[in-house]
Every structure is written in C-alpha cells, then in structure tokens.
Structure 1
Amino acid sequence: MHTEQIVRTFVEYFEERGHRRITGSTLLPPPGDPVLFTTSGMHPLTPYLEGRPHPLGRRLVNVQRCLRTTDLDEVGDDTHLTVFEMLGTWSLGDYEGPRSLDWGYRLLTEGLGVDPGLLHATVHGGDDRTGPDVESLRVWQDLGVPVELTEDDNWWSNGPVGPCGPDSEIFLWSGDTPPRSTPTRDDRWVEVWNHVMMRHRRLEDGSLVPLPQRNIDTGLGLERLASLLQGKSSVFEGDAFEPWRRLVPPLWTLDGRSLRLVQDHLRSAVVMIGDGVRPANTGRGYVLRRLVRRVLTALWRDDPSRELCDLPGELLLHTLDRFRQETEPGDVRRLLVEEERRFRGLLERGRRVLARPRFQGPLHDDDFLYLHDTHGLPRELVVSLREE
C-alpha cells in the first residue's frame, strides 16, 4: 500500500465518521506559537483545543508536515526522520477516548490490513496527579489487544505549560519472529499511532486544571506506517524515499548511517526552503544551516571534493511535489550551493585560527566563546575541526 493510498484510506475513513478535512499548514507555526517549527498536527489547532469553535465543526482530520529537531541524533536509525508527514484526527469536545481507540483499531486492522496479532498498546497507569486510564485499558482488553501500563511514557504535554493529558499508544511488531515482550522492553515494537485524551491544562506551578472541553488528539507518522505496511525494515526503505534510494548511492559512496543522514537532511532542507526558510545564524535559519552542514560534514569525511550542485534535479522536484510546494527547484539548488560555499570558507578560516599556538591545548568555555563571537565558529564546528 503506497503512501498516497494510505492517506486516502485514512482520510476517507474518518470523513465517513463525520470528520471534515482541514488543510495542513506549512512547517512554520502560526504567530504566537513559541516553537520554531510545526512539530505535530495539533499546533495550528491549539486555540480550538482550548475552546474556540472551529469553523468546520468538532470533528477534524488532516495531513500535516512536521519537523522535529529533538530527534536529530536519532536520524539514521530505522524509524526517525527530521521532516515527516503526520496523519491526524481531532475531537473538539465531541467524542471521548474509547471511540477514538476503537476506530483506530478498526482502521488499522480492517482498512489497512494489519494483523491484529501484531498489535500492542500502552496506557497511562496513573501517577501522583491522576489515576490510571481505566477507560482505555478496558477498550484494549475488550478488543483482545495486549496492553502495558506505564507512567511518564503515556502522558502527553505541549511543553511545560499548556494542554496535556493521558495518552494511549498503538505499537506494531516489526520483528521477524512472533511478537514477544512489551513495547517498553523490546524496540521491535514500533509506535505508529498516539491517541491523546487532552483534558487538562498544566499551569506554571505544575498544577493541572480542566480544559474548557475534553478533546481527543491523535497522530500517526505516515512514512513510518508506510514502511511497516510495505514490509520494509526502515522508513528509508519505504516508497517515500524511492528516488533518494535510487539516485544518491551511485552519486556518493557512504556508509549506511551516513547515507540515511544525508538523504534525510537534504530532503528536510528542500522542504524547509520550500516553506520559505533561509539559512541564518539564529532561529529557523540556523536549523536549516545546521542540517546542511551535517550533510556536508558527512560527504566530505571521505571526499572533500563532493559538491551539492551534483544533486539530481529529480530529487528536488520529487520532494517539492510531494509536499505540495511551488518553489522552483533551481532556487533550492542555488541556496544549497551558496550555503556550501559559505561553509567551505568557514572551515578554511577555522583551520587557520585553530592552528594558532593559543588553541593547541585543551579548550575552555572562554575559548569557545571567543571563537564563536570573534570568528563565527560554533562550538560543534570547533570540536569537529579539532578531531580532524
């Protein structure tokens, strides 16, 4: 089942159950949102989750592109991407958790053909703030799905303050043996769908107060689900990465993890540029700059002559089309090449500066501060140059 077919099945399933499809936003969150990027489908909907009526009603479904920087060090494994698409559903004070979980189970097993014997669930087991989520526990028990009670792993929050609540996560077995153990004890259980019972608001003092309405917020990573449904061992083996898998290895010979990092970060950079982000020393622009520099560091580790201008135009066009962006591929290439030139110059300057006698011994915080403020050399770049 290809990703577009998964999207169509997902959206139509919830439309048949009274949900209205809303248009996903760009990677840039709405004004006033404290995060740099849209990290989940709920971010653009925060005002409605807090009680404002949504113009399309109380049941919503969408496909939202997201970017998460918290997982950068995980990129290169089987399940994490920097930019990905999230399938989402919401109940804005309408139905409760049991109905959401039942629909989720039936979509996976009946609509998408998942073997029920390959599913496992986790449920909030209670803590010093709230009791166990007995409603979700009962749903899974009635459906015959194994369920594990956890504490911190099944409490969702949108930062230190704001909407929060218990969640129930659905896992799919990815191993080549019959399912065993539980999600917290065996990482072959891969999380595919999170159902949040968003009932509380956390205040600055850590206390919880009820939200004006009891919401349901669910999210399902499209590329991750697609790779599992397609019987692939990682998100990089699914159909979303087919052109990257076909065109990048003949261009640049890289070890497995470096190849995945290059594919992910370049794909993410294209999407960011398509949404209007430009390289900079702070904020969103610095995230883009960091991704490009991580790509170049991986490429130049074995061959400093490698250049981003060699990146096939098919990859740029495919990614922009997939994420429904109108930026010209030539403009994306130009920005990437300019950033590459800037980084080469910075590396050359950094090597000259670090060759000075002052920097031959151990470096202290004052040295890193001086190198950054005076010469524009970030700490991580200095550390990398010292390891050459």
Structure 2
Amino acid sequence: MDTEEIVRTFVEYYEDRGHHRITGSTLLPPPGDPVLFTTSGMHPLTPHLEGRPHPLGSRLVNVQRCLRTTDLEEVGDPTHLTVFEMLGTWSLGDYEGPQSLDWGYGLLTEGFGVDPGRLHATVFGGDDRTGPDTASLELWEKHGVPVELTVEDNWWSNGPTGPCGPDSEIFLWTGDTPPRSTPTGDDRWVEVWNHVMMRHRRLGDGSLVPLPQRNVDTGLGLERLASLLQGRTSVFECDVLAPWRRLVPPLWPLDEPSLRLVSDHLRSAVVVIGDGVRPANTGRGYVLRRLVRRVLTTLWRDDPSRGLGDLPQELVRHTLDHFRQTLDPDEPRRVLLEEERRFRRLLERGRQVLARPRFRGPLDEEDFHYLHDTHGLPRDLVLGLRPQ
C-alpha cells in the first residue's frame, strides 16, 4: 500500500464504524494552546475531550500534520521525523478502550494484512494512584497478543497539567528472526499505534480528578506505518519520502544519518513555511531557524561551498502538494536562501568574536550569556565554532 491507500483504508474503516472525518488543522495550534506547534491530533480537540459537544458527534477520525521538537535529537534514526502525519480516532464519551483496541487489532490484521504473530502490546500496570488497566489486558489476551505491563511508558499526559490517562501501545516486530523479548527489551519492536484512555485531568498539585466524560484518543504515525507495511527499514524509505531519497544523494553526498537529517529538516522547514512561519529568534520562528541551521551545519561540515540554492524545485513542490499547501514554491526557496545568507554572516562574525583573547580558554556561563545577549551567538553555535 502507498500512503494514499493507507489513509483511505484507515478513514473508510472507521467511517464504516460510525466515525465522522474532521479536517486536519495546520501546524499552528488553536489560540490559547500553550504549545508552539500541533504535536498530535488531539490538540484541536481539547475542548471536546473536556466535555464540549463536537458538531460532528462523538466518534471522529482524521489525518493531522504534526511537528515535535522533542524528536529533533532523534532524527537520523530509522523511525523519527520532525514533521509527520498522524492518523487519529476519538471516542468522546462514547465507546471505551477495549472497543478501540479491538477495532485497531482488526484494522491492522485484516485491513492492512499484518501477521498477528508480529504484534505485541503494552498496558498500564498501575501505580499508587490508579489501578492496572485490566480491561485492555483482557482484550489482548482474548486475541492472543502478548502483553507487557509498564507504568511510566503507558501513562499519557499532555504536559504537567491537563487531560491524561492510561494507554495501550501496539508494537510491530521488525526483526528478521522470529519475535523475541518485549518492547522494552528489544528495539526491533517498533511502536505503531497508541490508544489513550483519557479519563483524568491532572491538577497543579499532581492530583487526578475525573474528566466530565471518558474518552479514547488514538494516534498512528502514517510514515512509520507506511514504511512497515512497505517492508522498508526506515521511514525515510517509504513512498512519500522517495523523492528526497532519489534527489538529495546525487546533490550532496552524505552518510546515512546526515542524509536523513538533511532530508527531514528541509522537508519540515518547507511545511512550516507553508503554514505561515518565518525565521525568528524566538518561538515558532526559532524552531524554523534551528531546522535550517542544523541542515547547513551538516552540509558545510564536509563542503562549505554547498548551498540551499541547489535544492531541487521538485522537492519543494512535492512537499507542498503532499501537505495540501497552496504557497508558491518560490517562497520557501526565498526564505531558505535568506536564512542561509544570514547564517553565513553570523558564522563569520562569531569566528571573529571567538578569536578574541577573552574566549580562547574554557567558557563559563557568564561567557555564554554575554555571547548570546551581546553578539547574538547561541550556545550551540558557539560550541560548534570552537575546536573540539
């Protein structure tokens, strides 16, 4: 299945079970949401998870583009992307967790053809505040899926306060041997789907109170699922990233982790620009700036003459089209080139500043603050400019 067929199969499966498709939002969260970017499909639905009726009913399904800055340091491995699409389903006070897991098992094994013997689940094992999730455990035992009980790994929260609850995660075996061990014991078990039983709200003092309704919120990464269904070894080899895989290596010869980082960060930058963000020193603009500068630092490590002006127009257009963004492809290129020029100037100024006698020895916190506040040189850039 290509990604379009996966999306169609997913949405139609849940529509057949009474879910209404809602339109995914941009990467920018709704007003009042404290996060910089939409990190999951539940963000735009927070008021409805807390009890406000949704105009389309209590069973919903959608495809939402997301950005997770927490995954930046993970990019380069086989499974993490900065910008990705999340397939999601919701029960807003309707059915409970076991029904959600039962449908999820059916879609994976029948709709997508996954061998049940390659599945493993994890379930919340309980702590001093909340008992174990026995209903999910019994559902998996009914299907013959092995289960591992955990505590921290199977409790989902949207920050220190707010909606939260136990979850059950579904893993798929990716090794070339028969499945072995458990998801916490062998990283060849790759998480593909998380079903959150969102029943509680955590207060500022850490205590839990019941939400007005018992919800189920599920999330399934599209690119990760596509790579697994297509028999690929990483998300960077699935069909939606194939143009990057084809066009970037001849342009910039890179080792595998660097190729993944450059492709991911440039693709993510195009999507962020397409949603209206521009480089800045704070907030969303700084995330975009950091993505671009990480690309340039990687490219220039081997060849300082490399530049983003060589980025094929086809990749920009393909990315905007895939995410259904109407921006003229020339605009992301303009923004990227301007940010490249700005970064080159900053690097040159940084080298001159760091050549001063004051900064030739070890730097302390006062030095880092001075370099940032006076010269606009962030810590990571300073560390990158100094000999290791």
TM-score category (smaller protein)? over 0.9
Q: Which amino acid aligns with 1:311?
A: L
Alignment match, 1:235: 235
Alignment match, 2:146: 146
Alignment match, 2:273: 273
TM-score by length of 1: 1.00
Report how far residue 240 of structure 1 moved.
Answer: 1.2
Separation in structure 2 between the aligned mates of residue 198 and residue 358 of structure 1, nearest angstrom: 54
Deviations 1:82-103 (A, max 9, x none): 0000000000000000100000
Separation in structure 2 between the aligned mates of residue 259 and residue 111 of structure 1, nearest angstrom: 33
Deviations 1:216-256 (A, max 9, x none): 00000000000000000000011111000000000001111
Separation in structure 2 between the aligned mates of residue 277 and residue 165 of structure 1, nearest angstrom: 33
Alignment match, 1:119: 119
Q: Which runs of 5+ in 2 are unaligned?
A: none
Report how far residue 387 of structure 1 moved.
Answer: 2.7
> Is the partner of 2:196 in helix, strand or coil?
strand
Separation in structure 2 between the aligned mates of residue 240 and residue 179 of structure 1, nearest angstrom: 28
Separation in structure 2 between the aligned mates of residue 331 and residue 353 of structure 1, nearest angstrom: 33
Deviations 1:183-229 (A, max 9, x none): 00000000000000000000000000000000000000000000000
> Is the partner of 1:71 in helix, strand or coil?
helix
Alignment match, 1:5: 5
Q: Which runs of 5+ in 1 are unaligned?
A: none
Alignment match, 1:190: 190
Separation in structure 2 between the aligned mates of residue 331 and residue 126 of structure 1, nearest angstrom: 51
Alignment match, 1:282: 282
Deviations 1:65-112 (A, max 9, x none): 000000111100010000000000000000000100000000000000
Separation in structure 1 between the aligned mates of residue 298 and residue 224 of structure 2, nearest angstrom: 24
Q: How does 1:362-381 map to 2 (within 5 A)?
A: 362-381=362-381
> Is the partner of 1:321 in helix, strand or coil?
helix
Separation in structure 1 between the aligned mates of residue 179 and residue 328 of structure 2, nearest angstrom: 46
Separation in structure 2 between the aligned mates of residue 387 and residue 131 of structure 1, nearest angstrom: 53
Separation in structure 2 between the aligned mates of residue 256 and residue 43 of structure 1, nearest angstrom: 33
Separation in structure 2 between the aligned mates of residue 246 and residue 277 of structure 1, nearest angstrom: 28
Separation in structure 1 between the aligned mates of residue 179 and residue 5 of structure 2, nearest angstrom: 27
Separation in structure 1 between the aligned mates of residue 100 and residue 246 of structure 2, nearest angstrom: 39
Separation in structure 2 between the aligned mates of residue 143 and residue 278 of structure 1, nearest angstrom: 49
Q: How does 1:209-228 map to 2 (within 5 A)?
A: 209-228=209-228
Aligned residues: 388
- 1:199 and 2:206 correspond: no
Separation in structure 2 between the aligned mates of residue 98 and residue 369 of structure 1, nearest angstrom: 52
Q: How does 1:1-388 map to 2 (within 5 A)?
A: 1-387=1-387
> Is the partner of 1:301 in helix, strand or coil?
helix
TM-score by length of 2: 1.00
Separation in structure 2 between the aligned mates of residue 148 and residue 80 of structure 1, nearest angstrom: 23
Separation in structure 1 between the aligned mates of residue 216 and residue 256 of structure 2, nearest angstrom: 39
**Identical positions, percent:** 83
Q: Which amino acid aligns with 1:331?
A: E
Separation in structure 2 between the aligned mates of residue 174 and residue 239 of structure 1, nearest angstrom: 18
> Is the partner of 2:210 in helix, strand or coil?
strand
> Is the partner of 2:87 in helix, strand or coil?
strand
> Is the partner of 2:70 in helix, strand or coil?
coil
Separation in structure 2 between the aligned mates of residue 125 and residue 387 of structure 1, nearest angstrom: 48
Separation in structure 2 between the aligned mates of residue 326 and residue 54 of structure 1, nearest angstrom: 28
